[in-house]
Amino acid sequence: MGKISDIYYQIYFNLYLKKHPKQLKSINMFTKMPKSILVISNTALGDTILSTSALKSLKESFPETNIILLLHYKLEELFKGFPYIDEIVLYKGGYKDFFNVITQIKSFSPEISFIFHGNGPQDIQISVLSGCNFILKHPTNSPLKKYLSYDFEFKKQHTIEDRLQLLKMCNAKKITKKLCLPIRENNQISQKINNLLKDKSKIIGLQVGAADSYKMWPIENFIEFCRRLLRHDPSITIVVTGIKSESYLADKIVDAIGTNVLNLCSSCTIGELPYLLKRFSMLITNDTGTMHLAIAIDVPTISLFSTTDSQLSGPYHDFNIHKVIQKDGLEVQKLPKKARNNDNMNLILVDEVFDTYLQLEKSLNV
């Protein structure tokens, strides 16, 4: 939401609180998990996948509690039937949706809100206006932090730990750090994937795009990696995944390499993507949502980090199948986002990626 909307919602929020004064409840006043709670994780794919370990930990620690997830509407197909939530409220943003979301959440009477990852300051506003008396969010400088029930200190720790930290404040005992997204059997989707892949057997996936261009390994490097891969094993089929706007990058690989490469950017819906990834022997990927999804469904990965920190957002479990290449290109983060570029991703050499591939191929016996 834009700055004008932010001001509008803040005015409404202030007027509401004048009529309905809200007294902060410290987490020290918390005694037991209520019948209904709100979890906010309503942003992009990767950030939401990173919430799955906390969602599982929450449900397994408090199985009788009704868990309502505020979820970005584009991810609905992916989370239908997710076994660790009971209700989904979809978030689209905008004036009408802001009040519609609050009305839906209030119908469940949540007592506590866990903000795993939300659009601020609306995440805190929604929690307050929905009637939550306890609101927990990882360390923040939000101007509305006075409405939070605990002021966490900033720590350099993985995003997964940030979210689990909220649960531990409420005495959650069954904690898991492993991402999860169970894939249900679906013959129709499986048949579509079979048709797309044309009965290919050994498939190596490439995720060449990312939400931010400065996180992207240069496409010329991906092309050279593909050349070496096919010299090593000509029977391999390379499949490039991504959204529609990234298809031109896949086309560059197809043009350079030829028939061994399939451009499947935007060929699958978000709900079909796990079924496609499951067919890969491994995925070579930038730091982006598809990487987190692959990790959650146990698809082996080689993830490429230079301008972001894998210690904060990279693989956090099963390092036998998830390999990280991290270079020290973090200085780019000192620049405004619009001034950042992916030059420091060139610190990751094709030789290193290919050698890591050979090592993982051998250990997986694929």
Which of these, 301, 330, 319, lies nearest to 156 by C-alpha position? 330
pLDDT of 224:
98
> Which tokens hold the place of 206?
């490439």
**CATH of the domain spanning 187-364:** 3.40.50.2000
Decide the pairing of beta strands 134-137 and 66-72.
Answer: unpaired
Q: Give residue 22's pLDDT.
A: 67
Contact indicator for 163, 34 with CB cutoff of 8 Å: no
Task: Determine the pLDDT at residue 9.
Answer: 73
For the chain, the structural domain boundaries read 3-168, 187-364
User: Residue 269's pLDDT is what?
Assistant: 96
Q: Is 238 helix (H, G, I), strand (E, B) or coil?
A: strand
246: buried, middle or exposed (CB in 10 Å: 19+, 13-18, 0-12)? buried
CB 134 within 8 A of CB 149: yes
Give the closest residue to 123 by CA, choosing from 39, 48, 53, 55: 39
Local structure of 195: helix, strand or coil: helix
pLDDT at 99: 86
**pLDDT < 50: residue spans in the chain:** 1
pLDDT attached to residue 1: 44
What is the reported pLDDT for 5? 62
pLDDT digits (tens, 9 = 90+) for 284-335: 999 999 999 999 999 999 999 999 999 999 999 999 999 999 999 999 999 9
As given in the structure block, the two tokens for residue 181 are 């997204």
How many Å is the Cα radius of gyration of the chain? 22
Strands 134-137 and 237-241: unpaired
Instruction: Please give the pLDDT value at position 3.
Output: 57
Cβ atoms of 360 and 323 closer than 8 Å: yes
Domain 3-168 fold is Rossmann fold (3.40.50)
Which among 84, 89, 120, 72 is positioned nearest to 296, based on CA atoms?
A: 84
In this structure, what are the phi and psi dihedrals at residue 127, rounded to the nearest 5 degrees?
A: -60, -45
pLDDT of residue 14: 75
- 319: which DSSP letter? T
On the question of a common fold for 3-168 and 187-364, the answer reads yes
